[in-house]
């Protein structure tokens, strides 16, 4: 057995080039035969003896035929031969040498002819007339070529940018390319596929009570989307949803993110009423489904889940006092109903309303709070300030200073008055702006309206350098009121009153007076305040008025005459009464 001295691979006998590395072979770079190969060589020699015998027989036949051939040509060309003989005699010794070379060439040709007759391509023997061009099976091919059965063909070179014979997507996608929807990577066809790597960063801005985000104006965080795939991502659609329906589903259209590209989006959610049932510091789960297409419009989808913590609806953390506005809910149905029944339809919010009428409405609202039994209590221990919604204050009939302040501000605004929330160190109370543009502070923890006015004015003056006044309307775009659609059943008073015409009378104790019959009755389901205002006018001027509130329990009925003072001249000139 022979081996190539350059690459060490096994080679065939008598080949000129190594089949493995293409190196040219000679006796010096061929290895020795093994014993088995020597036996094979012996057999080949015996086989060649038979071959040589056949050659000798054929040679005899040829030599026998040759004289006849010469005779035939001589007889046919006698004249020509005589001329050639004359010419030959005149040739020099150099001509004789040429003849000898011609003779040698003829002998060589005859030898080649014999070899070509008995050479057999494919017998693993590179014979005299065989080479790489006519029998690469026996003689092999040079480096860079391979034998296709009969001749050497140049091997294709993958990666030269030319699609050559034999190259396919499977063995050389560098030159042959890949099918639609695939790309060549490391000479292997792989799918064109964008990959979405999504991360969520929580926002610290207003990261406190859920009420701050009720109107969808507050950013809870941001999504960062990176395309880590091998293709562009097109028509990216991200859907955010809540398993507990804490917020409404939101769709983000992100367009196209190129390969290795990045995009980001702030997340602003519209929270649903269900979130009001969240416990303090609950983790709100946010499911994210992402749909996107590659460059040949194949659809892909991925899912992610993130979460962010919220405090419960009562907690207000982090020094954002304007957040109290979110608790002022004048459009809550139960608050509107309570305020309307308390003021008996006084148009305190109408344009051009007198400051006296506004004060009357403010008084009746306050007295109705007291009669209903809403008491001041200390704050419940909690994270930050514990603030409850007005309907809950009404239901519980108690609250701390912030609760009573936002409750009273809600009542004022529900009848059209312009409210204020006033903050001083460690305390909160409310107030309103009258028709003359002045602030009327009202201490909402007081036991009656007169005390509330005096205490409110005193606190306002004493904290001139350390107070903050919040106008709810100013911050509505940032802190929308939270309206509960499924209101609890809260019992309310239903006070009916009838005030008759006033008549003048003379009394020994008071002199001239006017008396108006008043009938009050509570037909509701809870204790409430019944308030009355009666005014006497004479000569176009108000000469006297009386306003008073009474607490009526459920089913109470009260009938009496209400007296106001007038003078004799008022009686003589004429008078009339007006009442609410």
Q: Is the pLDDT of residue 455 over 70?
A: yes
Q: What is the pLDDT of residue 290?
A: 97
Q: What is the pLDDT of residue 99?
A: 43
CA angle, residues 428, 431, 435, in degrees to nearest 5: 165
The owner of tokens 């081996």 is: 3
**Tens digits of per-residue pLDDT, 468-501?**
999 999 988 777 788 888 888 999 999 999 999 9
Q: What's the average model confidence in pLDDT over 131-156? A: 81
How confident is the model at residue 264, as a pLDDT?
Answer: 95
Report whether 269 contacts 275 (CB < 8 A).
no
Count Cβ neighbours within 10 Å for each residue of 433-467 and write b for 16 or more, e otherwise.
bbbeeebbbbbbbbeebeebbebbbebbeeeeeeb
Nearest to 142 by CA among 26, 27, 25, 24: 24
- Write the pLDDT tens digit of every residue in 301-356: 999 999 887 776 666 655 567 888 889 999 999 999 999 999 886 876 665 678 88
- Rounded Cα distance between 563 and 513, Å, is 6
pLDDT in the model for residue 269 = 84
pLDDT above 90: percentage of residues in the chain:
48
What SS3 class is residue 160? coil
Q: What whole-number distance in Å separates Cα of residue 392 and Cα of residue 71?
A: 141
**Residue ranges of the alpha helices (H) in 382-502?**
390-396, 401-414, 449-462
Measured CA to CA, the distance from residue 325 to residue 402 in angstroms comes to 11
Residue 191 pairs in a beta bridge with 182
Q: What is the DSSP secondary structure assignment for residue 367, as one 8-state letter?
A: H
Q: Are 157 and 143 in contact (CB under 8 A)?
A: no
CA-wise closest residue to 562 among 523, 513, 521, 508: 513
Strands 398-399 vs 375-376: parallel, antiparallel or unpaired: parallel
Whether pLDDT at 366 is above 50: yes
Residue 368 is predicted with a pLDDT of 96
User: pLDDT value at position 51?
Assistant: 65
Res 240: pLDDT:
96
DSSP-derived 3-state class of residue 421: strand
Residues 6+ apart with CB under 8 A from 73: none
Strands, E, within 106-180: which ranges? 145-147, 152-154
What integer pLDDT is reported at residue 86 of this predicted model?
41
Longest dimension (CA), the chain: 194
Q: In what order do the strands lie in the sheet with 541-552?
A: 541-552, 528-538, 575-579
In the predicted structure, residue 206 carries a pLDDT above the cut 70: no
Other Cβ atoms closer than 10 A to 365: 27
Strands (E) located in 425-556: 427-433, 439-442, 468-470, 495-499, 503-507, 511-522, 528-538, 541-552
Residue 508 has pLDDT above 70, yes or no: yes
Mind listing the pLDDT tens digit for each residue in 234-273?
A: 999 999 999 999 888 999 999 999 999 999 999 988 887 7
CA 370 to the chain's CA centroid? 52
Domains defined along the chain, listed by start? 2-153 (no CATH), 196-313 (2.60.40.10), 321-475 (3.10.620.30), 495-579 (2.60.40)
Is 78's pLDDT higher than 50? no
CA angle 484, 485, 487 (to 5 degrees): 75
What pLDDT score was predicted for residue 430? 98
pLDDT band at 5 (very low <50, low <70, confident <90, very high): low
Flag whether pLDDT at 567 surpasses 70: yes
Q: What is the mean pLDDT of residues 143-161?
A: 81
pTM value?
A: 0.60
Query: What is the per-residue pLDDT for 172?
Result: 93
Residue 200 has which token pair?
């969520």
Position 461 pLDDT exceeds 50? yes
Helix (H) or strand (E) holding 356: helix 355-372
Residue 50: the pLDDT is 67
Identify the weakest region by mean pLDDT among 100-109, 176-185, 437-446: 100-109
8: tokens are 């060490």
Q: Which runs of consecutive H residues, i.e. helices, occur in 463-555?
A: none
Number of H helices, E strands in the chain: 11, 28
- Asked if residue 164 has pLDDT above 70, the reply is yes
pLDDT tens sequence across 49-72: 666 777 777 777 766 655 544 444
In this structure, are residues 235 and 292 in contact, taking their beta carbons and an 8 Å threshold? yes
CA distances from 124 to 129, 136, 494 (A): 14, 10, 120
- The answer to whether residue 74 scores a pLDDT higher than 70 is no
pLDDT of 82: 43
Indicate whether 288 pLDDT > 90.
Answer: yes
Tell me the backbone φ, ψ of residue 381, rounded to 5 degrees.
-55, 130
Q: Where are the alpha helices (DSSP H) in 77-208?
A: 78-89, 93-118, 136-139, 173-176
Whether residue 392 is predicted with pLDDT greater than 80 in this model: the reply is yes
**pLDDT score for 44:** 52
State the pLDDT at residue 283. 83
- Please say if the pLDDT value at position 201 is more than 80: yes
pLDDT exceeds cutoff 50 at 73: no
pLDDT of residue 452: 97
The pLDDT value given to residue 212? 53
State the Cα–Cα distance between residues 288 and 302, nearest whole angstrom: 8
Q: Residue 226, Cβ neighbours under 10 Å: how many?
A: 16
* pLDDT computed for residue 11 by the predictor: 72
* CA geometry: angle 348, 493, 354, nearest 5 deg: 10
Asked if pLDDT for residue 28 goes beyond 80, the answer is: no
Q: So what's the pLDDT on residue 232?
A: 96
Rounded Cα distance between 283 and 47, Å, is 94
Higher pLDDT, 133 or 527: 527
**Cα–Cα separations (whole angstroms), residue 533 to 186, 414, 450, 497, 520:** 93, 21, 16, 11, 13
CB atoms within 10 A of CB 213: 24
Residue tagged 């005699």 (tokens): 89
Asked whether 459 and 442 are in contact (CB, 8 A), the reply is no
Q: According to the model, what pLDDT value does residue 385 have?
A: 65
Instruction: Please provide the average confidence, as pLDDT, over all residues in the chain.
Output: 81
Q: Which of 490, 492, 548 is CA-nearest to residue 372?
A: 492
């Amino acid at each position: 057995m022979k081996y190539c001295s350059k690459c060490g691979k096994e080679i065939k006998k008598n080949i000129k080039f190594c089949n493995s590395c293409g190196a040219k072979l000679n006796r010096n770079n061929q290895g020795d035969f093994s014993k088995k190969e020597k036996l094979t060589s012996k057999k080949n020699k015996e086989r060649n003896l038979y071959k040589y015998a056949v050659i000798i027989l054929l040679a005899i036949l040829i030599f026998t035929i040759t004289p006849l051939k010469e005779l035939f040509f001589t007889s046919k060309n006698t004249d020509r031969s005589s001329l050639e003989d004359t010419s030959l005699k005149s040739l020099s010794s150099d001509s004789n040498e040429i003849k000898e070379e011609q003779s040698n060439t003829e002998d060589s040709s005859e030898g080649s002819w014999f070899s070509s007759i008995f050479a057999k391509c494919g017998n693993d023997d590179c014979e005299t007339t065989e080479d790489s061009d006519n029998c690469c099976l026996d003689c092999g091919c040079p480096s860079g070529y391979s034998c296709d059965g009969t001749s050497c063909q140049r091997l294709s070179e993958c990666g030269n940018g030319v699609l050559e014979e034999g190259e396919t997507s499977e063995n050389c996608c560098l030159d042959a390319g890949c099918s639609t929807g695939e790309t060549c990577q490391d000479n292997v066809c792989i799918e064109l596929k964008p990959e979405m790597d999504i991360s969520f960063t929580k926002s610290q801005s207003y990261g406190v009570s859920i009420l701050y985000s009720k109107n969808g104006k507050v950013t809870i965080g941001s999504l960062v989307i990176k395309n880590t795939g091998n293709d562009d991502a097109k028509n990216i659609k991200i859907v955010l949803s809540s398993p507990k329906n804490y917020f409404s589903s939101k769709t983000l259209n992100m367009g196209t993110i190129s390969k290795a590209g990045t995009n980001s989006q702030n997340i602003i959610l519209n929270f649903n009423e269900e979130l009001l049932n969240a416990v303090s510091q609950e983790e709100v789960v946010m499911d994210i489904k992402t749909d996107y297409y590659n460059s040949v419009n194949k659809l892909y989808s991925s899912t992610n889940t993130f979460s962010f913590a919220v405090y419960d609806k009562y907690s207000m953390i982090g020094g954002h006092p304007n957040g109290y506005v979110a608790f002022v809910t004048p459009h809550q149905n139960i608050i509107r109903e309570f305020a309307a029944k308390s003021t008996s339809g006084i148009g305190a919010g109408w344009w051009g309303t007198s400051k006296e009428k506004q004060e009357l409405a403010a008084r009746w609202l306050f007295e109705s709070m007291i009669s209903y039994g809403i008491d001041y209590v200390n704050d419940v221990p909690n994270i930050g300030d514990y603030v409850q919604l007005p309907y809950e204050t009404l239901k519980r009939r108690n609250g701390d200073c912030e609760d009573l302040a936002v409750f009273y501000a809600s009542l004022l605004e529900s009848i059209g008055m312009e409210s204020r929330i006033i903050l001083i160190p460690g305390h909160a109370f409310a107030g309103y702006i009258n028709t003359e543009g002045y602030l009327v502070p009202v201490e909402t923890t007081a036991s009656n309206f007169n005390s509330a006015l005096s205490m409110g004015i005193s606190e306002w003056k004493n904290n001139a350098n350390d107070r903050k006044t919040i106008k709810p309307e100013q911050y509505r775009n940032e802190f929308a009121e939270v309206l509960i659609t499924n209101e609890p059943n809260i019992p309310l008073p239903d006070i009916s009153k009838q005030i008759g015409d006033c008549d003048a009378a003379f009394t020994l104790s008071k002199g001239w007076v006017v008396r108006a019959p008043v009938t009050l009755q509570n037909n509701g389901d809870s204790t409430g305040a019944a308030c009355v205002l009666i005014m006497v006018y004479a000569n176009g001027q108000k000469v006297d008025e009386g306003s008073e509130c009474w607490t009526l329990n459920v089913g109470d009925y009260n009938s009496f005459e209400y007296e106001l003072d007038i003078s004799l001249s008022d009686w003589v000139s004429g008078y009339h009464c007006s009442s609410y």
